[in-house]
Amino acid sequence: MPSEQHTNIKVAVRVRPYNVRELEQKQRSIIKVMDRSALLFDPDEEDDEFFFQGAKQPYRDITKRMNKKLTMEFDRVFDIDNSNQDLFEECTAPLVDAVLNGYNCSVFVYGATGAGKTFTMLGSEAHPGLTYLTMQDLFDKIQAQSDVRKFDVGVSYLEVYNEHVMNLLTKSGPLKLREDNNGVVVSGLCLTPIYSAEELLRMLMLGNSHRTQHPTDANAESSRSHAIFQVHIRITERKTDTKRTVKLSMIDLAGSERAASTKGIGVRFKEGASINKSLLALGNCINKLADGLKHIPYRDSNLTRILKDSLGGNCRTLMVANVSMSSLTYEDTYNTLKYASRAKKI
Ligand code: ADP
Ligand code: MG
């Protein structure tokens, strides 16, 4: 990824392949990947033929507004044929080196429900996601340094749902947050020691099955919680016995679609409201960090409180914005790209 940026925030966009429903409806493509770092959002119809290999659009809506034809630049744009391995190699392998050099790092996947966040972060047994690939690399690098340094590795997997903090590994909570001199502490959270990436993958899958999910009209699989995986590493230099602790956080954010677009009432509505609150707070913090401002409103949500020591300052942050290129998801894709480009704006 280009390194000319002044901040430590990188933004990548990942376009996922069409799903069965999108293919069946033969919608037009609203994203054209131009090169490694640019895409064209909402291209003109004639540009479409590249994607449809000659297939004509089923209909043309003459009441439709003009195409936006927005060229947008990011640190990196991953197209439908890029794998989790590609994202790992280019985006998170460098973070493993940063972590071992003492920087707290965080990786976010952002996007509407169904856009590919969990596929990117967690993946499946057949296509392990960034968390597994990154942890595997971390263990390899730890092994290679074990002559000179001793490492203690513990992980936590938390969920922020409706501003409640739950432990996904033990399925317990809500846990309270409190502030001490070292920052924000999650009360009653024990770190789980781990020794291999394989062990971790099983734990992640288990934890993920504990995530709060509710079927809604918009999407039966919709996930309204933020999942925060954190690996805490205590590094002891064998020669001097000096110790320091670093953290790598990987966050599968709740779906970014608007609460208004799901027919939520009552409990669902409250969920929607606090999801927006956390995502909004995260966006505000990242924008302010990118702008180099001093006051960062971490306190505005539990998500940003937990991540306070992993954003800004000496930290490295990667945001992966997940989108679909089907016109069925026009609004979601547009909103996600806008959010991502605001995070990138310096
Ligand atoms: P989200 O977590 O954002 O709601 P998911 O990661 O669950 O979305 O993705 C929705 C569906 O699309 C899943 O069935 C997933 O396997 C599939 N999918 C997402 N991204 C990709 C990709 N890059 N390649 C192949 N399938 C994908
Ligand atoms: Mg998901």
How many angstroms is it from 141 CA to the middle of ligand 1? 29
Mean pLDDT of 225-254: 96
Is 269 a residue whose pLDDT tops 80? no
Mean of per-residue pLDDT scores for the chain: 85
Q: Which residue has the higher pLDDT, 183 or 16?
A: 16
Output the furthest CA–CA distance in the chain (Å, rounded): 73
> What number is the ipTM of this complex?
0.99
Residue type, 102: G
Which tens digits make up the pLDDT trace of 38-66? 999 999 876 544 455 545 555 555 555 67
How many angstroms is it from 113 CA to the middle of ligand 1? 9
pLDDT of residue 345: 62
User: How far is Cα 205 from Cα 286, in angstroms, rounded to an integer?
Assistant: 29
Q: Is the dihedral of CA 243, 244, 248, 249 positive or negative?
A: positive
Is 310 a residue whose pLDDT tops 70? yes
When pLDDT is cut at 50, 70 and 90, the band that residue 180 belongs to is: confident
How many angstroms is it from 69 CA to the middle of ligand 1? 26
pLDDT of residue 109: 97
Q: Where are the alpha helices (DSSP H) in the chain?
A: 20-24, 45-52, 84-87, 93-100, 117-121, 130-144, 197-209, 267-290, 302-306, 330-344
Counting from 1 in the atom list of ligand 1, the atom nearest the Cα of 83 is 23
Which tens digits make up the pLDDT trace of 107-121? 999 999 999 999 999
Is 259 a residue whose pLDDT tops 90? no
**Whether residue 174 has a cis bond before it, omega within 30° of 0:** yes
Q: Judge if the beta carbon of residue 129 lies within 6 A of ligand 1.
A: no
| Ion ligand 2 — residues with CB < 5 Å | 117-118, 223
When pLDDT is cut at 50, 70 and 90, the band that residue 217 belongs to is: very low
Is 223 a residue whose pLDDT tops 90? no
Among 24-28, 86-90, 307-311, the least confident range: 24-28
Burial class (CB in 10 A: 0-12, 13-18, 19+), 263: exposed
pLDDT of residue 125: 82
Determine the 3-state secondary structure of 168 from DSSP.
Answer: coil
Q: Judge if the beta carbon of residue 110 lies within 6 A of ligand 1.
A: no
Residue type, 240: T
How many angstroms is it from 151 CA to the middle of ligand 2? 31
pLDDT of residue 262: 45
pLDDT of residue 194: 87
Q: Judge if the beta carbon of residue 224 lies within 6 A of ligand 1.
A: no
User: How far is Cα 86 from Cα 10, in angstroms, rounded to an integer?
Assistant: 16
Which tens digits make up the pLDDT trace of 323-337? 999 999 999 999 999
Is 182 a residue whose pLDDT tops 80? no
pLDDT of residue 55: 53
Is 23 a residue whose pLDDT tops 60? yes
Mean pLDDT of 149-173: 93
Structure tokens at 257: 């679609």
User: Which residues are registered as beta bridge partners of 166?
Assistant: 159
Q: Judge if the beta carbon of residue 128 lies within 6 A of ligand 1.
A: no
How many angstroms is it from 128 CA to the middle of ligand 2? 14
Percent of residues, the chain, with pLDDT higher than 90: 58
Among 63-72, 95-104, 128-137, the least confident range: 63-72
Among 6-10, 28-32, 54-58, 296-300, the least confident range: 54-58
